[in-house]
Amino acid sequence: MHETLLNAALLLLVGLVAGFLAATVLGERRRYGIVGYLVVGVIGALGGSYAFKSLNIPTASAILTLLAAFVGAVVLVALLRLLRR
């Protein structure tokens, strides 16, 4: 039970950081807010993790997990930017 809660909390934290970094790196002028960064980051983390596993790239360390989340969030922010045009 505690491990599941810890994993969920870590996913939210990694998602928040990844969403914020992705929007910042892409120079997104629109502010998403904490909830927006969290949603973008968590969806990006799930997508990035899936992509890394599909490419047989391990995500066992915290740095690689954050990298996968960041890459997924960057792709998601770029897609959102394209859809707004």
pTM over 0.75: yes
Return d(Cα 52, Cα 79) in angstroms, integer. Answer: 19
Q: Are 14 and 69 in contact (CB under 8 A)?
A: yes
The domain segmentation of the chain, as residue ranges, is: 2-84
Confidence of residue 74 (pLDDT cuts 50, 70, 90): very high
- Would the pLDDT of 1 be above 80? no
